[in-house]
């Protein structure tokens, strides 16, 4: 299937700036529909030139659209937007325009193919046949409506660092787990226990289903508002992934240390490069230091340890 998909997100007007920030992470070309200033134009010299249809628009809401080519898996972009807005607690209506709704659930699957994220991990769609090469570790995925297929840089770079820092028997925490892909990757790399939590109950359900699909019984899932209800591991976690957004990671920075072991590694992602310095500075102020980083296509992922 060729062509483009318009992903249109509608929110209350007060959330417009935050929505633009999230949508710009998907694509820099945004179409913004904001009618809140129509009344100002009415009071000016152009009032008679404004179309009646515009005058009748709801000025309390605004919409932002991006246009994604089908070959770039628009479902991944939709999942990313849905996940970020959920984390930011922004209620939104999301529409995918350009394909029949009844076809949407399956049409994108033809563009989701096996992806090697590092030296060993290969993310394979559940419906694809794949013959692993010697040494490869296969992670099966059916993301459903949750973010995380491995095609997005934020997920892929996190998985790459997990390969480097997860050790057999480690305890792993995945904050904002989406499809559960990172917790499952850690389990496949030998982690002894993984707790995957998300603010979205749908994502938690899908993460549990994907854990069962991969026969990774060591992955436990749960609904958590950031870290409020997150499960603590005795002695702390050896590895924690927070693939969310810069603002939320900054908010987590004073508290995440309480969940980590003394030599634990924190992997943060979902950060555009323009906000990398700000995010790392907040973590440094909370007692962390940067030990590793990756950058790709405008995205930043960092690995940190606590000072001392």
Q: pLDDT category, 73, cuts 50, 70, 90?
A: low
Of residues 211 and 145, the one with the higher pLDDT is 211
pLDDT digits (tens, 9 = 90+) for 77-130: 887 888 788 878 899 999 888 755 445 455 556 656 788 888 999 988 888 888
Which CATH fold topology does 4-108 show?
Alpha-Beta Plaits (3.30.70)
Find the range with the poorest average confidence among 98-102, 148-152, 262-266. 98-102
pLDDT (0 to 100) of residue 41: 43
- Report the distance separating Cα 44 and Cα 55, nearest Å: 14
- Report the distance separating Cα 209 and Cα 202, nearest Å: 11
Q: Minimal CA–CA distance to 183: which of 155, 152, 225?
A: 155
What are the residue ranges of CATH 3.40.50.150 in the chain?
112-306
Residue 69 pairs in a beta bridge with 4
Most confident option among 21-30, 226-235, 248-257: 248-257
The dihedral through the CA atoms of 157, 159, 164, 165 has a sign that is positive
- Is the confidence at residue 184, as pLDDT, over 90? yes
pLDDT (0 to 100) of residue 4: 76
- Residues 84-102 as b or e (16 or more Cβ within 10 Å = b): bbbbbebebeeebebbeee
What lies within 8 Å, CB to CB, of 104 at 6+ separation is: 75, 96
Counting every residue written for the chain, the total comes to 308
- Report the distance separating Cα 225 and Cα 35, nearest Å: 33
Of residues 66 and 43, the one with the higher pLDDT is 66
pLDDT (0 to 100) of residue 188: 96
CATH code for 112-306?
Answer: 3.40.50.150
Q: Which residue has the tokens 């790709």?
A: 296
Find the range with the poorest average confidence among 148-162, 182-196, 213-227. 148-162
What are the residue ranges of CATH 3.30.70.120 in the chain?
4-108
């Amino acid at each position: 299937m060729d062509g483009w998909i318009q992903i249109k997100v509608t929110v209350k007007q007060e959330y417009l700036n935050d929505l633009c920030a999230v949508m710009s992470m998907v694509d820099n070309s945004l179409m913004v529909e904001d009618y809140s200033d129509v009344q100002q134009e009415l009071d000016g010299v152009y009032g008679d030139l404004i179309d009646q249809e515009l005058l009748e628009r709801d000025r309390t809401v605004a919409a932002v659209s991006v246009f994604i080519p089908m070959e770039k898996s628009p479902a991944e972009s939709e999942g990313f937007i849905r996940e970020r807005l959920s984390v930011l607690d922004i209620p939104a209506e999301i529409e995918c325009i350009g394909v029949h709704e009844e076809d949407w659930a399956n049409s994108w699957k033809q563009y989701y193919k096996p992806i090697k994220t590092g030296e060993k991990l290969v993310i394979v769609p559940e419906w694809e046949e794949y013959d692993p090469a010697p040494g490869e570790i296969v992670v099966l995925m059916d993301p459903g409506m949750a973010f995380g297929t491995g095609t997005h840089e934020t997920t892929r770079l996190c998985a790459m660092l997990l390969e480097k820092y997860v050790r057999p028997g480690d305890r792993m925490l995945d904050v904002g787990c989406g499809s559960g892909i990172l917790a499952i990757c850690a389990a496949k790399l030998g982690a002894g226990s993984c707790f995957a939590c998300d603010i979205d109950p749908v994502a938690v359900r899908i993460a549990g289903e994907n854990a069962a699909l991969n026969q990774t019984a060591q992955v436990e899932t749960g609904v958590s508002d950031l870290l409020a209800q997150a499960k603590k591991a005795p002695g702390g976690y050896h590895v924690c992934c927070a693939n969310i957004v810069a603002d939320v990671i900054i908010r987590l920075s004073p508290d995440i240390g309480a969940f980590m072991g003394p030599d634990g590694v924190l992997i943060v992602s979902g950060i555009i490069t323009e906000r990398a310095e700000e995010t790392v500075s907040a973590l440094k102020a909370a007692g962390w230091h940067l030990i590793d980083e990756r950058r790709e296509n405008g995205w930043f992922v960092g690995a940190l340890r606590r000072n001392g």
